[in-house]
Amino acid sequence: MGKNLTQKILTSHLVSGDLDKGNEIALRIDQTLTQDATGTMAYLQFEAMNLSRVRTECSVSYIDHNTLQTGFENADDHAFLQSAAARFGAYFSRPGNGICHQVHLERFAKPGKTLLGSDSHTPTAGGMGMLSMGAGGLDVAVAMGGGAFYLPNPKVLRIWLTGQLSDWVSAKDIILEILRVLSVKGGVGKILEYAGPGVKTLTVPQRATITNMGAELGATSSIFPSDEQTLLFLKAQGRAEDFVPLAADEDASYDQEIKLDLSLLVPLVAQPHSPDNVLPVTERSTLPVHQVAIGSCTNSSYQDLMIVRQILKGKHVHPDVSLVISPGSRQVLSMLSSNGALTDLLDSGARLLESSCGPCIGMGQSPVSKGVSVRTFNRNFEGRSGTQDASIYLASPEVAAASALTGYLTDPRTLGLPPVVDFPALFRIDDSMILPPGDPNTLIRRGPNIQPLPLAPALDNSLSLPILLKLGDNVTTDDIMPAGSKILPLRSNIPAISEYAFHKVDAQLASKAKALKQSILVAGHNYGQGSSREHAALAPMYLGIRAVLVQSFARIHRANLINFGILPLTFVNEEDLNRIQPGDTLHLLDLQQAIHSPAPFAITLNNDSNPVWVKHDLTERQAKILLAGGLLNATKAEV
């Protein structure tokens, strides 16, 4: 029996575990990436583990999330990261050089290799046939040091593409359609492998839009074969030598399959407040729009922005719409500038932002109160834009540009002839903003924003934990630990950022948690979906949250909880969630034994004689980490 593409890369990187059975595997990681909002923690952790130099084929530290520099904090972080990259042997992509996933695709990604990144959209590089996964900073720090990455053995879902996209229909519509079909939990525990005759019709940047937003399905990763399109892209990036052809064997088998005929797709939009709340644009085409934002790691490639330019050229943005554009990288921006497209965009009334994450993570450009913003981004969680009552719609660059012109949500097919953009024979290559690994004796610069890492206490054998919060399904890491221009600068300062945990749910939550000293959270399905930010585990840990009991978890967040010593539990009977209310107390006894045994165990709700049955699904490795009070403690204990 042949192998699918995922199995081929997993097999060639397998360090431990069994791909045919078993629930945990460990992989060798060839490349890592970090970004500034998660990278300071990753490098502090690298340092705390007494590691001296990265041992991967290539590790890159990007500055892209927080470039506003509204105070000394960002600048401190940048200086720390630049000096840490030099000292520990990583490449450093300077502020202004672009969004990590876009730049990585352009300059570093290689088919057949593995990439671990401290950002949930790391699977963008799957558009290049690379097995790329998001993880918490601590897991990435371990991988930078040459350690294996542990993950639940994934299932492989084949997405069989046929046909070809119609005029005005975009790669974004492919992934929005898949989100509509599978939902935000539909990819949990799976790698999505694209195959079929439709694949060759998609360029690498289009594929990257699709693999990028696989993160919104909760997927472990998404991957395309490496073929003529991959070679075309690598040649145009001056990296033809990085090409290797890769595809699944003809007789490969898969755990699941869905089929998609590209020619049947129409322009789609994801409505507030979830990326899977998808319907055709035509069904909302009278909706007035106040802002259009084009950019983010999903849709800010050269091709995307050239399409936008074609649509806007010689026309003017509607007077009631603010149009902002953030090109994905300096390469994209400089190409737009040298071919005159930038002038056309500016002439149309577009406002230009730096090549960074920007509005996608609430770093400026919050919409007007109760405003409607159409964005080419990947997440439309409530409040993420910085305006709590704004409505965010996710759409393709075509829909976004058309809506900017008309002032209402617009099906671009009403605009007439579609834009035609040639694939460049050669991208503009200038790596001068990527600093190579430096001197191992470089002094690390630590401004006052760089605070020491707090460590979790070892897990007690018995715990009586009051319920701090009860939440519903699909709680995002933005709900747990919001971002935005006020909070993001505190990512290197856990005591300060912890004050904002669950801030939007209850502004007093941090004080309540501190008053209780120790507590537990309960919630529904897909708890912790979204970002890889380990602050969504670090801040709760700092506030004394010792366990989280839910109906199901998102992968990266569950791993982060374990890494920071918080016990992740799930209900055996999901309905038991209804029995628990804030103010109740859960009594967990004999945890040492319970954690080492795979069997479900009973915990007591108040004085109720009818227990709540829970399970932990921990491997022996994870059990040891938890009992030690997290991965850093466990690593220190081993040294």
Q: Which residues are catalytic?
A: 64-65, 119, 379, 531, 533
Nearest in space to 223 (alpha carbons), one of 70, 65, 96, 112: 112
Binding status of residue 545 toward ligand SF4 by CB under 6 A: no
Phi, psi of 476 (to 5 degrees): -95, 160
Q: Which residues contact 429 (CB under 8 A, 6 or more apart)?
A: 237, 238, 331
Q: Which pairs count as long-range contacts for 424-427, CB under 8 Å and 24+ apart, including other chains?
A: 424/236, 424/302, 424/335, 425/236, 426/236, 426/238, 427/106, 427/236, 427/237, 427/238, 427/302, 427/331, 427/335
d(CA 97, CA 50): 30
Nearest in space to 129 (alpha carbons), one of 254, 229, 29, 1: 229
Give the residue with the Cβ less far from ligand SF4, 269 or 297: 297
Task: Report the nearest approach of ligand SF4 to the CB of residue 589 (Å).
Answer: 41
Site for ligand SF4 in 376-415 (CB under 6 A): 378
Among 133, 157, 219, 361, binds ligand SF4 (CB under 6 A): 361
Q: What is the DSSP string of 224-286?
A: --B-HHHHHHHHHTT-GGG---B---TT---SEEEEEEGGG---EEEPTT-TT-EEEGGGGTT
Applying CB under 6 A, the site for ligand SF4 has a residue count of 10
Task: Report the nearest approach of ligand SF4 to the CB of residue 615 (Å).
Answer: 32
* SS3 (DSSP) at 97: coil
Which of ligand SF4, ligand MIC, none binds 475 (CB below 5-8 Å, type-dependent)? none
List Cα–Cα distances, 223 to 159, 271, 491, in angstroms: 10, 26, 31
Binding status of residue 531 toward ligand MIC by CB under 6 A: yes
Q: What is the DSSP string of 568-632?
A: EEEESSGGGGGG--TT-EEEE--HHHHHHS-S-EEEEETT-SSPEEEE----HHHHHHHHHTSHH
d(CA 547, CA 562): 10
605: Cα separation from own chain's centroid: 36
Among 5, 27, 29, 37, binds ligand MIC (CB under 6 A): 37
Site for ligand MIC in 255-284 (CB under 6 A): none
Give the residue with the Cβ less far from ligand SF4, 94 or 121: 121
Among 34, 97, 118, 296, binds ligand SF4 (CB under 6 A): 296
Give the residue with the Cβ less far from ligand MIC, 107 or 121: 121
- Tell me if the bond preceding 316 is cis, omega within 30° of 0: no
Give the residue with the Cβ less far from ligand MIC, 365 or 532: 532
Give the residue with the Cβ less far from ligand MIC, 376 or 531: 531
Q: Which residues contact 339 (CB under 8 A, 6 or more apart)?
A: none
Give the residue with the Cβ less far from ligand MIC, 190 or 557: 557
Binding status of residue 38 toward ligand MIC by CB under 6 A: yes
Residue ranges of alpha helices (H) inside 442-579 are: 477-480, 494-498, 509-516, 535-542, 555-563
Which of ligand SF4, ligand MIC, none binds 532 (CB below 5-8 Å, type-dependent)? ligand MIC
d(CA 636, CA 616): 24
* SS3 (DSSP) at 423: coil
Give the residue with the Cβ less far from ligand SF4, 101 or 318: 101
Among 5, 174, 361, 513, binds ligand MIC (CB under 6 A): 361
Among 120, 222, 366, 493, binds ligand MIC (CB under 6 A): 120
Contact indicator for 46, 146 with CB cutoff of 8 Å: no
Binding status of residue 360 toward ligand SF4 by CB under 6 A: yes
Stretch that binds ligand MIC, among 54-62, 155-163, 173-181, 529-537 (CB under 6 A): 529-537
**C-beta atoms surrounding 164 within 10 Å:** 14
Contact indicator for 195, 160 with CB cutoff of 8 Å: yes
Binding status of residue 61 toward ligand MIC by CB under 6 A: no
Give the residue with the Cβ less far from ligand MIC, 65 or 555: 65
Q: Residue 432: exposed, middle, or buried by beta-carbon count in 10 A (0-12, 13-18, 19+)?
A: exposed
If you ran DSSP here, which 8-state letter would residue 183 be given? -
Task: Report the nearest approach of ligand SF4 to the CB of residue 359 (Å).
Answer: 9
d(CA 489, CA 140): 21
Tell me, residue by residue from 133 to 172, as one string, x for binding to ligand MIC by CB under 6 A and - for no binding.
-x--------------------------------------
Site for ligand SF4 in 554-573 (CB under 6 A): none
Which of ligand SF4, ligand MIC, none binds 296 (CB below 5-8 Å, type-dependent)? ligand SF4
Site for ligand SF4 in 48-107 (CB under 6 A): 65, 99
Binding status of residue 119 toward ligand SF4 by CB under 6 A: yes
Among 297, 308, 321, 402, binds ligand SF4 (CB under 6 A): 297
Binding status of residue 115 toward ligand MIC by CB under 6 A: no
Which of ligand SF4, ligand MIC, none binds 533 (CB below 5-8 Å, type-dependent)? ligand MIC
Give the residue with the Cβ less far from ligand SF4, 139 or 478: 478
Sequence length of the chain is 639
If you ran DSSP here, which 8-state letter would residue 98 be given? B
Binding status of residue 121 toward ligand SF4 by CB under 6 A: yes
Stretch that binds ligand SF4, among 219-227, 353-361, 433-441, 502-510 (CB under 6 A): 353-361
Among 289, 321, 325, 357, binds ligand SF4 (CB under 6 A): 357
Which of ligand SF4, ligand MIC, none binds 99 (CB below 5-8 Å, type-dependent)? ligand SF4
Binding status of residue 375 toward ligand MIC by CB under 6 A: no
Residues at the interface with ligand SF4 (CB under 6 A): 65, 99, 119, 121, 296-297, 357, 360-361, 378
Binding site for ligand MIC (CB under 6 A): 37-38, 65, 119-121, 134, 361, 483, 530-533
